[in-house]
Amino acid sequence: AEYKSETPILKMAGHAWEPYISNQLPANGLAVNLVTAVLTRAGYQVEMEFMPWQRVGEGLSTGDVDISVGSWYNETRAKELYFTDPYLTNELVIVKRKQDPLNFNTPNEFKDYIDSKGYRLGVFKDYGYGELFDEIAPLVSLNYFKYCTNMLRDVATKKSDIALIDHWTASNSLKNNENIADHLEVIPSALISLGLHVTISLQREDHKEIALAFNKTLKVMKEDGSYNKILSKHNFPTLK
């Protein structure tokens, strides 16, 4: 094979999802920072572009986008895209109004409690929440949202009863909206935990090679402390 001097370029895309992915944040948010650091160290050059979720998906299938910053695994997606190992875990929690006695330690306790109570649950549109969510969905009526603040405001103003949201996204949003936060509380037990993966377009002939390089470098960075350094730079909290 002839010697290639230039670093392979990966066109990466993601939709704004604070504090993980955002062009308003240092290094474009924790997820973008981590993925870029891993791939750069693995020998790639990453070019990041922000776009709506739908366009990310279209770009991956046409090959206009090489990789997506963050996706949760599901079988449908796995037929259309190539997944890396997870590089973060998203702990999804329930946010409720302070007066609501709802509490749980396990998903089954949650399902038993909400069954037949007519709860209205706020979720994000077009997110693949996984199999456990598919068991919960029939027990509630779903309200769909594009923005976190609107989702939480609707719980505070009683248009929804509870919201399912990543714990860091929730605490970040509540910190920035104290008037909403006064009415709400986060139930500390994670209801759903989902690994966050990079997905690679199957249009890239080297998709397996990219994933392998990513997985290997991620492991090295976890071992040498550089992974944790990036987490603490972004003040990433871990659920107790």
pLDDT string in tens for the chain (240-residue length): 555 568 899 999 999 999 999 999 999 999 999 999 999 999 999 999 999 989 999 999 999 999 999 999 988 899 999 999 999 999 999 999 999 999 999 999 999 999 999 999 999 987 889 899 999 999 999 999 988 999 999 999 999 999 999 999 999 999 999 999 999 999 999 999 999 999 999 999 999 999 999 999 999 999 999 999 999 999 998 654
What's the per-residue H, E or C state across 24-43? Answer: CCHHHCHHHHHHHHHHHHCC
CA distance 218 to 41: 9
Evaluate the CA torsion angle 112, 104, 101, 178 in order and state its sign: negative
CA distance 1 to 15: 37
| Single-letter residue type at 172 | N
Q: Tokens standing for 14?
A: 């993601």
| Single-letter residue type at 133 | F
pTM of the shown model? 0.92
